Each structure stands twice: as C-alpha cells, then as structure tokens.
Structure 1
C-alpha cells in the first residue's frame, strides 16, 4: 500500500480534530479512486493509522465518511475492505448519474455567467488539444472541469453528489481499462456531444443542455458496459435514460 504520510515533524499540524480527519479522508479516498488501494483489499485500521500518522479517532471518522460514499466496507473486527467493483454496481452508478447530473445541469445552466461560459469554452478547447496530443491525464482533467462547470451554479448538495459519482465512474475506468488510449478514445468519442452541450450552455438553455448531457452519459455508459461485459443487458441504463428524456419532454 503506497500512502503519502502526514507531516512527520513530531508535532501535529495546527488544529487537528477536523483537519486530521479531512486529511485522512482525502488521502484514503484518493488512493482508492486512483486504484492504489485495489478493490476488495482488506486493510488494518492500526496499519492505516500508522501509515498516515494519525490517531484512531479522526481515522474512524474519515472511514465512516468513505463508507457513506460506498468506497469502503467495515467489519465487526474493525478491518477495512476497499469496496469491490461489479458490473451491476457500475450500471447502477451510471443510472444514478443519469438521474442526478441532468437535473443539476437543468438548474445550473440558466444561471451561468459570461465568465462561466468563457471557462467552459476554454476547458473544451484545452480538452480537445490534450486529446489530440495524446495526453490522457490533461484531457481527463479538462474533461472533468468542463462537466463540473456545467453544474457550478446549482445547490451545493446536489452539485457535490454529482461530482462524487463522477469520481466513482473514473475509478471504474482506471481499473477496468488500464490503457490510457481507451480513456482518451472515450473523450474523443464525445466531441460532437460536447460541442452541442456547449452551444446549449451558451444559449443558457437548461432544458436542452440537460437532455444532451443525459444522452452523452448514456452513450458513455453503454460503451463502457459493452467493453467490459458484452453479454450484459444494460436495462437499468435504458430505463434511466427513458425516465430522464420523458421528464424533459
């Protein structure tokens, strides 16, 4: 397990009840999302606390938060298990994104400022440039920024929930598809859809942007599911998309 420890000066950093919990949460969450802590791995809380150089109390709080997100599972012996991956869970995750993200876009896009739209345009240009250069990491960062900007003017709880599910989807992609070329191809595949979404955002048309985002998400979900489980029937994705599009008229 490769974890970056907290400062080792012998003194705990400035406030440490809340700060240590947040640092522990962010360290472990990042390690899980990046695949450094593999799905299904069991970890001792004692070992993890030692690796992170934190006490057990803030670590327990961090783990409860991660458990709520569905990233870890805790047993009665206080062991931690990194949540395993599965095709039904991946499909449910995309279905939940289909229910939440288009709603957040619907509410956010009409409130975008001129500066927000300029940032959207810049993110899309940077994403396309990075994809053309074969730079998967930069393309992914700008892709994330583009979609998060679309959500930026909605209520905090809805926005953070949508962003969290995005992170979980990226975790699946990193683990199921180690090759950066596949993830780059997914981004490039959505080029036309991204341009259409940008056009709707420029017009502050929340309903059209919402519909386009739903279709974009569904295409991505079906492509990813087909690549890892070709025989799987993605009924939940179809029903989620139908529900969203029927609601959008």
Structure 2
C-alpha cells in the first residue's frame, strides 16, 4: 500500500537547514538563558570555542551571539583570554536599581484596556497561588509568572523603552537567582494584584508607589545578600599582577632604550628607585 508518510514518498522533503541568522539567534537565546539562570556563573572566564562545544553551537553563530550579548552588557570581551560573564557586584546592583527608578515610572501612566486588564488579573492570581506554596519549584513558578506580568505591563510602552526595561528586569532576575542559589532568603512575591487593581482604577500615584516598593524590596534583598556573602574581595584577582598602563609601558621602553645607549658607550646606569 502506498504510504504518504514514507520518507521515500515524492512529497516528503528534507527539512531545510537553519540559515546563519537563525543559527545566531538560537545561539544568542541559548547563551542568554544560560547567563540569566547562572548556568554560566557570574565572573566565569571562558573561551569562544569552549562555549560552542559546551552548548552544541557553531563557532560563527557563537561569535555573533557573544558580540550581541556584549552590547547588552552580559558578556565582557577580554583581549587574548576570551570572554567573561558579567560579574556580580554591589555596583551592578546599584546601577540596576538606579536605572529601574528612572525607567519604571512610565508603567504607571499606561492605559489598560479590558483584555490587558483581564490578563494582568489572571497572572496576578497565579502569582499569589504560587507564592503561597513553600516548595522551591513553586518559587521558580512564581518568578516566571511575575516576569510574564511585568512583560504584559511593558507591552504598552514605546518599543525602545520596553526593550530597555526588559533588559533591566533580565539583570534583576539574574541577581535574584544568583543570591537565592547561594542561600539567601527568597524575595517576597510582587504585589501584582494591587498593581492590577490600581491600574484598572487609573490610580497613577498608587501604581508608581507600588512599583517603587518593588524596587526597594529588590534593593534590600540584594543588599542583605551581599552583606551575608562570605566571598573574599581581592584587587585584580588577588595574586594576579596588574597589567601595566600604556604610559607605564612607554616609560619602561624609554628607560630600556636609555640604558642600552649608555651601555654601548661603556657607561653604567643606576636604576635607582623606579617605583
């Protein structure tokens, strides 16, 4: 009997290979998720080839993805060494907090239609249900619903502003996941239902207050986690010698040239105190 589903059927075509732009997009998304979930831990030094092998990606796609993640601030190129995942620090937390305080007030002035309002209340109910459970899996589920709630809010913003706010939330989520994985007390759930009610009633000031409270909550959480972190602070990696500046290298070269000229004339040059 003739089988239309047979791989030898004339109508069956071989799946098309991904185009380079699709491979790069896939690589970017895979590496981004690895960074946001701390699968690639903060501060990790890693080579491009190692990343490609670890995640089963092409070298060209990995290179393009790393360049994009670098512009977003999640990966730092280190000359002659490879790439470094953005480290975790108090300065980073402070920068994220300050940027969120500038960007998020725009959410308070959004007009909410009936469909958007229904989606916000639905997600708020899911957040409350997941936040009431004590299991670790429930906390992860609650975090996912919170992000969907925020994304639904941001969908009404100017696309450029929305993209900026989404990146700030990416950084915030990564910071929270990192410290919670280190044993920090979990961050309380977002007051999503209160935000949804205030938006529905057109209470702009109340929405702004609730958003500010959420930022303060994040700042307090990260600050306490940093204070209780037992990691030792080191200057430039502790024992690793600090790389000389261009001025120092130029000075060393000039000193060597002067010493060589003096030696060729039979003179002895005292180094003195070169520090």
> Common fold, TM-score beyond 0.5?
yes
2:66 aligned partner: 63
Alpha-carbon deviation of 1:127? Answer: 0.7
Query: Could you tell me how far apart the structure 2 residues matched to 1:14 and 1:204 are?
Result: 50
2:194 aligned partner: 196
Q: Select between 139-148 and 113-122 the one with higher mean Cα deviation.
A: 139-148
Report if aligned partners of 1:186, 1:220 keep a CA contact under 8 Å in 2: no
Report if aligned partners of 2:35, 2:74 keep a CA contact under 8 Å in 1: yes
Question: Which structure exhibits the higher relative contact order, with contacts defined as CA atoms closer than 8 Å and separated by 6 or more residues?
Answer: 1
Report if aligned partners of 2:121, 2:193 keep a CA contact under 8 Å in 1: no
Alpha-carbon deviation of 1:213? Answer: 1.0
Identify, as 1 or 2, the structure richer in helix: 1
2:86 aligned partner: 83
Structure 2 counterparts to residues 20-169 of structure 1, below 5 A: 20-77=23-80, 79-103=82-106, 105-107=107-109, 109-110=110-111, 112-134=112-134, 135-169=138-172
Relative distance call for 1:85 and 1:181 in structure 2 (3 A) is: closer
- Structure 2 segments unaligned to the other structure (5+ residues): 1-13, 229-275
Q: 1:198-218: per-residue Cα shift (whole Å, max 9, x none)?
A: 222112344542343123212
What is the CA RMSD across the aligned residues, in angstroms? Answer: 2.5
Q: 1:32-74: per-residue Cα shift (whole Å, max 9, x none)?
A: 1111111111111112223344433322221111111111111
Query: Could you tell me how far apart the structure 2 residues matched to 1:24 and 1:13 are?
Result: 18
Report if aligned partners of 2:125, 2:193 keep a CA contact under 8 Å in 1: no
Q: 1:73-126: per-residue Cα shift (whole Å, max 9, x none)?
A: 1122261111111011111111111111222x034x21x221111111111111
Query: Could you tell me how far apart the structure 2 residues matched to 1:29 and 1:80 are?
Result: 14
Q: Give the structure-1-normalised TM-score.
A: 0.76
2:217 aligned with 1:214, yes or no? no
Report if aligned partners of 1:45, 1:78 keep a CA contact under 8 Å in 2: no
| Aligned positions, number | 213
Query: Could you tell me how far apart the structure 2 residues matched to 1:153 and 1:125 are?
Result: 21
Report if aligned partners of 1:73, 1:82 keep a CA contact under 8 Å in 2: yes
Relative distance call for 1:115 and 1:225 in structure 2 (3 A) is: same
Alpha-carbon deviation of 1:181? Answer: 8.3
Report if aligned partners of 2:179, 2:225 keep a CA contact under 8 Å in 1: no
Report if aligned partners of 2:45, 2:85 keep a CA contact under 8 Å in 1: yes
Relative distance call for 1:21 and 1:12 in structure 2 (3 A) is: farther
Query: Could you tell me how far apart the structure 1 residues matched to 2:69 and 2:85 are?
Result: 10
- Structure 1 segments unaligned to the other structure (5+ residues): 1-10, 231-249
Query: Could you tell me how far apart the structure 1 residues matched to 2:51 and 2:182 are?
Result: 29
1:182 aligned partner: 185
Query: Could you tell me how far apart the structure 2 residues matched to 1:100 and 1:28 are?
Result: 26
Relative distance call for 1:177 and 1:24 in structure 2 (3 A) is: same
Query: Could you tell me how far apart the structure 2 residues matched to 1:12 and 1:43 are?
Result: 33
